Structure 1
C-alpha cells in the first residue's frame, strides 16, 4: 500500500520543522554564552538537515497541492512543533493566547483547503 501524498508531506514537513526549530531557537539555551557567529554556524549545520526533509516534502506535496496550501500546512506544522519545544525545551510558560492563535490558524486552514487539493 502506497503512503498517501498528504501523509508523506506532513511527515517530511514535521521532521523538517523539528530540525528548523532547533536551528532557530536551541542556540538560545545551548550556545547562549558563545559568540553569535558560533551560534549561526551551528544553526546553519542544523538547517542543512532541515532542507533535506523540506525540499522533498514540498516536491511531493506540490504534485497534489498548491504552493499556498503547502505553506499553510507548513505553518500549522511549524507551530505544532514550536509550541511543545518552547514549553519543554526552552521552559517558556504556556499562555491562553496560544490557544486563540491556534484557532485563528485553524480558520486559515479551513479557508485554504475548503475547495480540496488544487495543485498548480
Structure 2
C-alpha cells in the first residue's frame, strides 16, 4: 500500500510540475523571427514605371519562394520598395530613407543608369 501512495504522489508532482511549466511558457511572449529587410529603389512612376513594376514583382516572387523554404537562417525576407520616379535626386532620397529609417540590410535598385550612379556612394 505504501508503494501505491508513493507512486500516486510522484504522479501528482509530475502533473503539478507539468502544469506549472505549461503555464510559464504560455506567459512568455512568443516572438516571430524578425524579418530581414531588403530595400528596392526603382521607378514605380514616371517614364520607367512599367519596368520598375516588373522588377518589383519579380523580386517579390523570389522573396515569397525563399520564405516558403524557411527564409534565410530561419528569418523571413521582407521587401521594402521606394519609388525613385527615374530621377537621380529622388533615388538618393529613397536610398537614404531605406538605409537610415527602414533599416534595410541590402539595397537593390537603380533601374536607370543616372539613378544607379547617384545611389552608389550611399550604398557603399
TM-score (norm 1): 0.29
| Structure richer in helix, relative to its length | 1
| Structure richer in strand, relative to its length | 2
TM-score (norm 2): 0.29
The structure whose Rg is larger is 2
| Greater RCO (Cα-Cα under 8 Å, separation 6 or more) | 1
